[in-house]
A = this chain, B = another copy of it.
Amino acid sequence: MTVPQSARGGGRAGRALRATASRGPLGVAPVPRRSIPTYELLSDDQLDRLEAHADWILATVGVDIRGDDESLELFRSAGATVIGENVRFEPGLAAHLCSTAPSQFDLHGRDGRVVPIGGSNVVLLPAYGSPFVSDLDRGRRYATLQDFENLVKLTYSTPYLHHSGGTVCEPVDVPVNKRHLDMVYAHLRYSTKPFMGSVTAPSRAEDSIEMARIVFGHEFLEQHCVIQGNINVNSPLVWDDVMTGALKTYARANQGCVISPFIIGGAMGPVTQPALIAQSHAEAMTGIALSQLVRPGSPMVYGNFLTTMNLKSGAPTFGTPESVLSTYAVGQLARRLGLPLRCGAHYTASKVADAQAMQESADAMMAGILAGSNFVIHAAGWLEGGLTTGYEKFMIDLDHCGMLIRMIEGLEIDRNQLAVAAYEDTRPGIAFIGSNHTLANFATSNYNSTMANTDSFEQWTEDGGLDTERRANAQWKRVLAEYVPPAIDGSIDRALLDFIAGRKDSMADAWY
């Protein structure tokens, strides 16, 4: 969108915005289950070869674990070869060390709801980690705590996201060493959905878990997963002590992590996708193995973030055919390992919620869903390669999430769906619009989009000729205006605020 600031909001277009703004769906819904098959891109022989290559990489190149003697020692004790900071694994060892991780586990929300991770469950989360936000009114700008809270509220308000996410944007108006406290508070206060805590230092991970203990209780948290950390590998094939420190902190508390190699082909891995897939598999297995050495049975998600690069400019590219293919392969490898899968998302390199944004996003997200993804980080809001979370993009993505949730229900082939009665009662050339079968089924047959405009051109023009991005602009404002915070026990809220105040008082502000 390149509409000048002054043209927005007022006059005819403004009236049209108010007139046509449809409200996004509100609420909390059960986690959807995939009833359709996964897409199996590769043959068993090809998968064998990818697994063997991952094993070969781990035996030949290994992974470096930097500045973390404890983790080196854990791997040595488990049978790996440790030379300096380099750890090598005999073929099969890494997969074997992953075998105590559960194939499915439950995440708990503070309202008592259970969010199952793994199996055929599909859990969708908002975007993660952007330093910027954007919307049509104020453009692209550094994110603030206010934006963070807004995104938590938008996530809480939709049935199409089942998890509050983690760093839904970076609140850069809060000191780096304190912002995790405000972020975790926002998730706990403004939502009831499960969430992810800090991973930028072991102490911040510990703070995040401690705040969860205040809400859930020590006993409950010891036995149940209520918080997760989003752990990226320092690809290629390096673990640094920040990431292993956070990973160990969550695992030790029996909480979960998502282990995601972050590989852009041609940079953190080779330019050819099969190599990337094998490398990502190798890296993910080492992280999950470490979690299991710290605490067997701690609940982990096998993640990946594989994409391509524009090889002229070095810019990462998204929703590309190569990354779509890799997504399917990664899904197959996760199933062979028997672990919950994170992959797919509404990824795009576009700066605005335009045609490029949704072509790339739709392809990347569809691939994740058909690949069998159980846990989709960045299911809403992602723009500009993750540098920006867009308010309008968020709402457009949500509608697509709703469509995909309908899609994974699949088709039921029974007498009603086959409309036997309708055909018994008709002859050629008679429209079905008024048939009893149509009347009985029309309310439930089709997903009802909150975003698509299907009006006539004349009606659409009369309503201001608003493109999707402008319609989405009205929608997020409406949802935020109608947001009502979930109840919280006053004493728990005070305990959280006291904890935060104490931690903030204990440190000078740090901005790096």
A: which residues have CB within 8 A of B? Answer: 1-4, 7, 13, 36-37, 39-42, 46, 49-50, 53, 56-57, 60-64, 86, 140, 234, 236-238, 265-275, 278, 308-311, 313-317, 320-322, 324-326, 329, 349-363, 366, 370, 384-385, 387-388, 393, 396, 400, 403-404, 406-407, 410-414, 416-420, 422-424, 426-433, 435, 437-438, 441-443, 445-447, 449, 451-457, 460-461, 464-470, 472
Contacts and interface: CB of A to CB of B under 8 A. Distances in A.
Given A423-B61, A446-B308, A437 B271 contact: yes
Given A40-B37, A467-B355, A468-B356, A86 B428 contact: yes
B363 A437 contact: no
Contacts of A456: 315
Nearest to A38: B39
Contact of A41 (B37, B321, B406, B414): B37
A428 B66 CA distance: 11
A272 B406 contact: no
Contacts of A426: 61, 236
26 contacts: A2-B464, A4-B7, A37-B40, A41-B410, A42-B411, A49-B418, A57-B423, A61-B426, A62-B428, A86-B428, A236-B432, A271-B432, A311-B443, A315-B454, A317-B446, A317-B452, A317-B454, A320-B403, A322-B406, A325-B411, A354-B354, A354-B355, A354-B469, A355-B396, A357-B468, A359-B362
Contact of A467 (B2, B360, B470): B2
B274 A412 contact: yes
A349 B452 contact: yes
Contacts of A407: 321, 324-325
Contacts of A445: 265-266, 271-273, 311, 322
7 tightest CB-CB pairs across the interface, nearest first?
A275-B419, A270-B419, A321-B407, A237-B428, A362-B362, A64-B428, A355-B468
A453 B322 contact: no
Contacts of A354: 354-355, 467-469
